[in-house]
Amino acid sequence: MGIKKYSTPINFIIFQACWFACVMGAAKNLGWLGPLMVLLTVPLQIHLLTENHRAEILFVIICGISGSLLETLMIVANVYTPIDQEWGQICPPWMAALWFNFALLVSISLAWLKGKYAAAAILGGLAGPVAYWGGEKLGALTVAATFSKGYVILAVMWALALPLLVYLHARLTGAKREGK
């Protein structure tokens, strides 16, 4: 069994470290730091902590690209504004890196959500906006001034996104619903 026995805590710790590197890097004008850390840790986690490497690589790519497009839409719609304006209304690399990083959280630490789409929607709707709130408090972005325009939109987006990602991961990896 080896290291895979500890895959959930290892993945969660790496996810948090990369999240802070991305967000704090952006806030401190070191926007390259988080993407570099994600670039180094994602392949390592896929190799050491997952079983179906090809499916996990595909899932990470799909999640990263679709998440980056979704973030670009959120920026264009003025739901939030990244602190680093050099990318204009395109998702900055540090935010894109968060999605590549998040893919493995869905795959490993949040594997218990497989087949539990209502739980995924509730978790996404609550935890997603909290991550943006944390990013705002740390100085990486500014959420829209009105609660309904900012955090409510983020909550709805994440309440839809997380169950879709859980479903997609299960389809790509051939995972069965927990308990069946």
Q: Which residue do the tokens 């069994």 mark?
A: 1
> What's the pTM?
0.92
- Position 4 confidence tier, pLDDT thresholds 50, 70, 90: confident
Q: What's the pLDDT tens digit per position in 72-95? A: 999 999 999 999 888 999 999 999
The mean per-residue pLDDT over the stretch 30-37 comes to 97
Of 105, 107, 17, nearest to 56 by C-alpha is 107
Q: What's the pLDDT tens digit per position in 105-115? A: 999 999 999 99
Query: Do 42 and 14 meet the contact criterion of CB atoms below 8 Å apart?
Result: no
Q: What is the pLDDT of residue 176?
A: 52
Beta bridge partners of residue 82, listed in sequence order? 141
Query: Do 4 and 11 meet the contact criterion of CB atoms below 8 Å apart?
Result: no
Eight-state DSSP code of residue 142: E
> Which token pair is 107?
């795959």
End-to-end CA distance of the chain: 23
